Structure 1
């Protein structure tokens, strides 16, 4: 997508406000009272939410990935010039949490979600995708006492060869986790993730060389974006990605930020603020009543806690108010959570969170009875009020709502409430019936009229059994020096009648998808992978899925074949067939599968010989 198309897309997104609240976030109402010169003017008055704060046409934010201690230096430099950063973090050690993390949530900065361990999500089974995203969000919210609504992909990767369902699995995990947007290189992620219209925020991401930043390149990237805008357009751009700069690099950034600071039509925001503003502006509904020369507007929209930021909305008002205003600021009237905590429970025993000792909770996920149950006991002296619960469940489970929600106006002292959600089904395919499970109830409530949040989680694990799939049946020869592999050897090995007695089973990658084999790593060497599969009859039209990365040759049933497309149409013999692929031994998961249709996750029957 061109920059011009990106600007047009942004403009269209606000030309028709989407008021349906597609994520069903908890809502509240607030009144805005405006006085006009005459009763007639009050009757004609309209309030139109603005896509950016008043006077701003260019939203600018910065993205910094991974849990790098140098983030602290970047945070200080950004704040010096009035810029803000969102630091997208993975799990790290106590030293980072104690010394660096507190510096990343001050002076307007925020923390974002970059998964627990930085895996390529496109290579993982669905339950692990869900766990990597949801658990990281809950843990960092509890560590920082700040909501997290922004997410970025490890390796900027969400596709995997011909697996067209990979982006949809990631999108479903993001929907269930409660994230609202991401600054990425891909402008159509909402559609590719399969998310509802208006639910996912994007930004125009650019980099100027993480190790040796270039002021000229920054100028060029900004100029391209500004030139693509017409009067009335707005834009969101994000600088990234890593804090790998040396002293000279930080000096260059210092000069860049000084040059671009204090621009009156720029909104210097972090990603959480932008995501919250955008969602609220698109999904806040407005009604009006008139009392004399006063128009009273009733705004119904998501709570700031649900949005992840209390950034005020702005609106255009026509005609002008009695005191001449044509733009009005619309602050939230609810506060953000004062504290956020996380407890992991197993079984029915109630656990007291450290930050909320007057509350005791448990979360049970019963796969046999197909039900998840939250128990919440108020053991304190004050009531819990305005309680909302969002059940965020692993992808194994389906329910009537993608994110089931419960609520209560009050839980009195000494009382215990139980909320249960029944599964509509468990996905029974092998793809979903394995992995580490992480389920959580996101509980928002008020205690002594102060908003709070408590994550109540539970874990389980379904073992990864060996299956008749490439991941679990692959054999390997090597890694060995390149001269060890001749075309004659590889062609012979691909004959299904040939013995592979000197080949070894290839170790399966933990929680990898069924069509991925884990290639060992050894510099300047190669490895051959053999897979044997069965056909009930001779078939012309099965699909071969072999990614091009590190592939040096592909052999099938005694002959070398050329893979020109993905997937490649092949002929299978009746009985056993054998595929041999030669790789550079560069390590990592690689796609290799044969399927009847286009989905590599539904392979034909593979056997280990």
Structure 2
């Protein structure tokens, strides 16, 4: 009897490597029951159920990522289909492609492929304000889910740009991803030592190692070298068992022939899982965060599996387990494949089949009988109101409130069992706290609301948004203060950077091809070139004056100090940097000071100036 008790306790402890997993993003969960029959009660007590890192016994997930709203993606898709490869096409605003073909996004989802997020306007994310980190992804998601009628959980970074050593920036980008429901990124930060700065909790984000043999003219030798390196990196593959081809559909005719050779080498390997990034992200989150509880009944082991809903995950992918320590004879609630157990989602749990949005005029073309609004009640309190003027009840109404990084919680959830036809209902959530740092106060306030519901037995989704004008009474940010101009051929940046130099007499001229980017962050200067014929060797000059009430040393911190970024910086007549550490000390004058940046075209500058706690730094309109 003591032996049986010990075995029962041991089986309970070992029944899953993820027993009691945390579900770090607080996705909605439900429980399924699987009953396995064994030859004897002893085998039933010994049996363990372990979630597999990938479906079946696959060793590697293989996919592809293709960036931007490009018509050429359709050509890339056809080449992928020839070899049974799947991938995800990451879109910005595909308005021109949709005008050319309204089914553009739907076509990209054939052959097992999916669509993903690449932000609406393709900014250098470190250069925009904190609210825009969220808005760029959230509006991108709403736009694409409605246009493509498909759930999205994956992103790739515009310009592969995300890391800045200055305070708050990278963490705000990570918060924006989580707030928008992103759990998958086949991107450059996979092996970066700076990745923790994004703030993603453990087991919450699936990464893929990207293979980049070239866009227009891919090189087979480069691909084979990169693939060999990836497959040899066992430690990385244990954490993120995925590779992804990348990244633009710019191939020439000769390039497409090489692409076929690359696809041929990737295809048809029996121990590789060919998936899109939406499926990969959904499976990995669930496999790492599901939990299993067990009880026995004679020769049967009854496993209760707590897992995430497909609507939260963004894809309906069966979960696979290995049955160990005993051999099952048959299963109820799952499908046996030898000692492998496949558990599809409950038939009543599915991804939305119809997705709509509320427009600014208060109507939805997808759900004209519904009205959904989001309102801020002040003091961190938010209210959602749903009005159902249709003939059918709304069931299992799940409200997900989504917020930028100024708020503590990226997402908050509240549910209602039903909203009767001809009635209305509301739910309210309260944010625990608001971040006080000045960095988070810039940008036009924005939040979004997602309502998932069942109607007439089908799953649906409706979005609403809330926004206000940007606050006016904030200190002048660098981008508004700086003078931006074309770099003259014989300019003297050191002389220009002296505070007593009169800029009007320095031969500097503004160019009509240079503008300042909208929504620049409070640490940023981001000139944008509007002319594609702008000479590559013509730099941009950004001049920024500031004053301080103390001559105490300042710390200047910026990735732009790193030599490879080719940004030159002068301060009060002297050149500073380069500095691999991204930090230099400056000795300011009490009063007016001047920074001058010489940057390549379309290069954003992100920096902080900090001094003693009692030091006051004020940026001045530079003219």
Do both share a fold (TM > 0.5)?
Answer: yes
Greater shift, 434-443 or 14-23, is seen at 14-23
Selected match of 1:321 from 312, 325, 328:
328
Asked if the contact 1:345/1:363 (under 8 Å) is kept, the reply is: no
Whole-angstrom distance in 1 between the partners of 2:558 and 2:596: 11
Query: Is the alpha carbon distance of 1:592 and 1:384 closer, same or farther for their aligned partners in structure 2, counting shifts above 3 Å?
Result: closer
Partner residue, 1:387: 397
Query: Is the alpha carbon distance of 1:500 and 1:452 closer, same or farther for their aligned partners in structure 2, counting shifts above 3 Å?
Result: same
Selected match of 2:267 from 246, 252, 261:
261
Greater shift, 64-73 or 333-342, is seen at 333-342
Partner residue, 1:10: none
Q: Deviations over 1:515-566 (max 9, x none)?
A: 322447553445544333223232134436582444445141x445555452
Whole-angstrom distance in 1 between the partners of 2:357 and 2:94: 17
Query: Is the alpha carbon distance of 1:597 and 1:72 closer, same or farther for their aligned partners in structure 2, counting shifts above 3 Å?
Result: farther
Partner residue, 2:6: none
What secondary structure sits across from 1:137 in the alignment?
A: helix
Query: Is the alpha carbon distance of 1:54 and 1:560 closer, same or farther for their aligned partners in structure 2, counting shifts above 3 Å?
Result: closer
Q: Deviations over 1:91-124 (max 9, x none)?
A: 0223256142121112210011100011111100
Asked if the contact 1:71/1:100 (under 8 Å) is kept, the reply is: no
- 1:302, distance to aligned residue in structure 2 (A): 0.5
Q: How does 1:292-441 map to 2 (within 5 A)?
A: 292-318=298-324, 319-322=326-329, 325-333=338-346, 334-345=349-360, 351-366=362-377, 370-396=380-406, 398=407, 401-427=409-435, 430-441=438-449
Aligned length, in residue pairs: 577
- 1:387, distance to aligned residue in structure 2 (A): 1.5
Partner residue, 2:112: 108
Asked if the contact 1:131/1:437 (under 8 Å) is kept, the reply is: no
Query: Is the alpha carbon distance of 1:58 and 1:518 closer, same or farther for their aligned partners in structure 2, counting shifts above 3 Å?
Result: closer
Query: Is the alpha carbon distance of 1:603 and 1:92 closer, same or farther for their aligned partners in structure 2, counting shifts above 3 Å?
Result: farther
Whole-angstrom distance in 1 between the partners of 2:50 and 2:441: 48
Whole-angstrom distance in 2 between the partners of 1:520 and 1:112: 26
Asked if the contact 2:554/2:610 (under 8 Å) is kept, the reply is: no
Query: Is the alpha carbon distance of 1:36 and 1:362 closer, same or farther for their aligned partners in structure 2, counting shifts above 3 Å?
Result: same
Partner residue, 2:61: 59
Partner residue, 1:251: 257
User: Pairwise CA RMSD of aligned residues?
Assistant: 2.9
Question: Is 1:34 matched up with 2:45?
Answer: no
- 1:145, distance to aligned residue in structure 2 (A): 1.8
Structure 1 length as normaliser, TM-score? 0.87
Partner residue, 2:121: 117
Asked if the contact 2:556/2:607 (under 8 Å) is kept, the reply is: no
Partner residue, 1:496: 499
Asked if the contact 2:127/2:526 (under 8 Å) is kept, the reply is: no
Query: Is the alpha carbon distance of 1:410 and 1:214 closer, same or farther for their aligned partners in structure 2, counting shifts above 3 Å?
Result: same
What secondary structure sits across from 2:24 in the alignment?
A: coil
Asked if the contact 2:33/2:304 (under 8 Å) is kept, the reply is: yes
Whole-angstrom distance in 2 between the partners of 1:59 and 1:36: 32
Partner residue, 1:202: 207
Structure 2: unaligned runs, 5 residues or longer: 1-15, 331-336
Partner residue, 1:594: 609
Partner residue, 2:10: none
Query: Is the alpha carbon distance of 1:508 and 1:207 closer, same or farther for their aligned partners in structure 2, counting shifts above 3 Å?
Result: closer
Partner residue, 2:242: 236
Q: Deviations over 1:299-338 (max 9, x none)?
A: 1110011111111111011211126831111111122211
Selected match of 1:572 from 576, 588, 608:
588
What secondary structure sits across from 1:98 in the alignment?
A: coil
Query: Is the alpha carbon distance of 1:539 and 1:148 closer, same or farther for their aligned partners in structure 2, counting shifts above 3 Å?
Result: same
Whole-angstrom distance in 2 between the partners of 1:544 and 1:25: 37
Whole-angstrom distance in 1 between the partners of 2:83 and 2:279: 18
Structure 1: unaligned runs, 5 residues or longer: 1-13
Partner residue, 2:9: none
